[in-house]
Structure 1
Amino acid sequence: MPPIHTPTYHYDDPTLTAPTPGRALIEEIGLVESVPGVGPTTGGGYIGVPISIGPLHTRFRRPHNGIEMTLPNADVTPWTAPFIVAGHARGCFDLASRPGWYWLRWTVADHVAHDAGTTSDEDPLVIVPCGAKKASARSPAGQLYVGTYHRLGLRAAAALTGPNSTRILSARYGLLPLHQLVDPYNLRLGQPGSVTAAQLRAQAEDQALLDHPNVVLFGGREYVELAQQVWPHAHTPLAGASGIGEQQQRLAMIAGTRRLN
């Protein structure tokens, strides 16, 4: 039986000065875990000791059984508990809002991109699926869809990014900025006349979003699989949810976080 792993990394800086993010910090911490939704079907995430951190994937060893596995960097985060605990001990219960600590919500992909100089404080691009329930008249895209799931998606997007970096994936119109005026419609993804991956890619290119390094996809399988044809590196925090109810719970949890500026 593999030995029980006890994390050895400690953070005890009384000034709560943030370490520099990047691959070196993750290796120093010595523990990573998968994001919500990436893990065993019984619930919970994977956690392990990083073996190698590449440009796209992280390989790590699960300490309780010695099994090695590889996950996309966008699906793995460094272990942040030592920093959160240190903050709580000094009366700071929202450490991520303090200067220098924005990376507490980063994935490994963000840390790798930081090292490469391709992103720092750039807002993520968040894609929210459209909804079946709509206003009855021509409206801005951000107000057209009135269903609970969609509104939760917009609230979660607002917790992660700004309105200029939020897009609605419409079955009819494709990639919509929140301010764009559109007419109500009755069309589902996959039906004749609905947006295709090629059309979505062209829209992303026109909006200078095709090469965005940090993309978050909300929505069910059809919407996510379509968007992944344009952004295969995207983070999918609702993946693995057992149904719409669990997806809504995750969206509500994300929406409860405060966006970092």
Structure 2
Amino acid sequence: MARTYRPTYDYNDHTLTPPTPGADLILQVGLVQSLPGIGPKTGGQYIGIPRVIGPLHTRLWRPHDQVEMTLPNTELQLWNTPFVVAGHRQGVFDLAARPGWQWLRWTIADHVAHDHQRVAKADHEITPVYPNTHAEPLVIVPCGATKAAFPRVAGELYTGGYRRLALRAAHALTTCTNIRIVSGLHGLLPLDQVIAPYDLRLGQPGSITVDQLEAQANQQGLLGHPDVVILAGRDYTRLVHQIWPQARTPLASTRGIGEQQHRLARIAARS
């Protein structure tokens, strides 16, 4: 007999400040359930751990019977018990009626729509990232875990979708000679430098350090570049920012990879 699954997420904010709704909150809570009336023929509701939240469907894994299934986002909702219980502890029994908590009644489809609306609003606030009239920008993009099986030029070695999208955006902003890929092993890579596939992530022992990256930037004549754009996630941005603290970071206001990819696609489309 399968062991009873006990969710571990807890909401213990005594001020009852509402978290931001959306896919990130769903994955953080880590449990979804089908709406009343949508479930097994024997009765009850489907409940499981969300694996992937797509635009229309969510794939979830049911730990009690080890089954993975996919349901429409319109038929699922976030497991809200931790928030309702926290409200009861504070003597609040109508939490969903309080400002900021209306999402307690939402389906997963509503959470996904909220994310899209927030991204669209952020797009209007993007500072244009285009080459200026004095010098083309130096654009830094991250490497990726997915690589070709054999040695290739750096611009073709990394085959993951995020890296390809970042490179498309970089090409929209500058020329090939002004693009660098930050490799966890090799540091600053021109697109035409041939390297072999490797397995090392940023921050692991033996990965590139700030001092090494600064030395490479100096050797390549990039250290004092007046216009630098970083198209990368948090860890790579923190590293590169130590070399070029004035660099622009169009992805800084995004929440998660999905929004970053959306922003990269928008930058690429504006060329």
Counterpart Cα distance in 2 of 1:157 and 1:137 = 24
1:107-144 deviation line (CA, Å, top 9, x unaligned): xxx6xxxxxxxxx3311000010000000001100000
Give the SS at the match of 1:149: helix
Q: TM-score, normalised by structure 2?
A: 0.53
Q: TM-score, normalised by structure 1?
A: 0.55
Hey, which bits of structure 1, 4+ residues long, moved more than 2 A? 40-47
Task: Please give the residue correspondences for 1:38-49 in structure 2 after superposition, counting only pairs within 5 Å.
Answer: 44=122
Q: Report the CA distance shift for 1:45/1:148 in structure 2 as closer, same or farther (over 3 A).
A: closer
Give the SS at the match of 2:144: coil
Counterpart Cα distance in 2 of 1:137 and 1:177 = 18
Counterpart Cα distance in 2 of 1:46 and 1:162 = 26
% identical equivalent positions: 53
Partner of 1:144: 157
Partner of 1:19: none
Deviation of 1:257 (Å): 1.8
Q: Report the CA distance shift for 1:186/1:180 in structure 2 as closer, same or farther (over 3 A).
A: same
Partner of 1:252: 265
- For 2:240, the aligned partner's letter is A
Deviation of 1:46 (Å): 9.8
Q: Report the CA distance shift for 1:180/1:46 in structure 2 as closer, same or farther (over 3 A).
A: closer
Please tell me whether the aligned partners of residues 153 and 193 of structure 2 are also in contact (alpha carbons under 8 angstroms): yes
1:211-240 deviation line (CA, Å, top 9, x unaligned): 000000011110000000000000000002
The partner residue of 2:208 within 174, 195, 200 is: 195
Please tell me whether the aligned partners of residues 128 and 150 of structure 1 are also in contact (alpha carbons under 8 angstroms): yes
Q: Report the CA distance shift for 1:210/1:41 in structure 2 as closer, same or farther (over 3 A).
A: same
Counterpart Cα distance in 2 of 1:41 and 1:151 = 21
Counterpart Cα distance in 2 of 1:135 and 1:192 = 23
Partner of 1:125: 138
Higher relative contact order structure (alpha carbons within 8 Å, sequence separation ≥ 6): 1
Please tell me whether the aligned partners of residues 142 and 163 of structure 2 are also in contact (alpha carbons under 8 angstroms): yes
| Aligned residues: CA RMSD | 2.4
Task: Please give the residue correspondences for 1:75-86 in structure 2 after superposition, counting only pairs within 5 Å.
Answer: none
Please tell me whether the aligned partners of residues 119 and 259 of structure 2 are also in contact (alpha carbons under 8 angstroms): no
1:234 aligns with 2:247: yes
Which sections of structure 2, spanning at least 5 residues, go unmatched?
1-117
- For 1:203, the aligned partner's letter is Q
Please tell me whether the aligned partners of residues 127 and 250 of structure 2 are also in contact (alpha carbons under 8 angstroms): no
Deviation of 1:42 (Å): 11
The partner residue of 1:134 within 147, 162, 172 is: 147
Counterpart Cα distance in 1 of 2:256 and 2:119 = 13
Counterpart Cα distance in 1 of 2:162 and 2:119 = 23
Partner of 1:164: 177
Please tell me whether the aligned partners of residues 133 and 146 of structure 1 are also in contact (alpha carbons under 8 angstroms): yes
Please tell me whether the aligned partners of residues 167 and 177 of structure 1 are also in contact (alpha carbons under 8 angstroms): yes
- For 1:174, the aligned partner's letter is G
Give the SS at the match of 1:203: helix
Give the number of aligned pairs: 154
Task: Please give the residue correspondences for 1:45-60 in structure 2 after superposition, counting only pairs within 5 Å.
Answer: none
Counterpart Cα distance in 2 of 1:138 and 1:76 = 37
Which sections of structure 1, spanning at least 5 residues, go unmatched?
1-39, 48-74, 78-103, 111-119
1:225-260 deviation line (CA, Å, top 9, x unaligned): 0000000000000002110000000001111122xx
Please tell me whether the aligned partners of residues 123 and 263 of structure 2 are also in contact (alpha carbons under 8 angstroms): no
Q: Report the CA distance shift for 1:45/1:155 in structure 2 as closer, same or farther (over 3 A).
A: closer
- For 1:156, the aligned partner's letter is A
Q: Report the CA distance shift for 1:212/1:135 in structure 2 as closer, same or farther (over 3 A).
A: same
The partner residue of 2:234 within 221, 245, 250 is: 221
- For 1:227, the aligned partner's letter is V
Deviation of 1:44 (Å): 3.8
Give the SS at the match of 2:141: strand
Q: Report the CA distance shift for 1:199/1:253 in structure 2 as closer, same or farther (over 3 A).
A: same
Counterpart Cα distance in 2 of 1:130 and 1:183 = 13
Give the SS at the match of 2:240: helix
Structure with the greater alpha carbon radius of gyration: 2
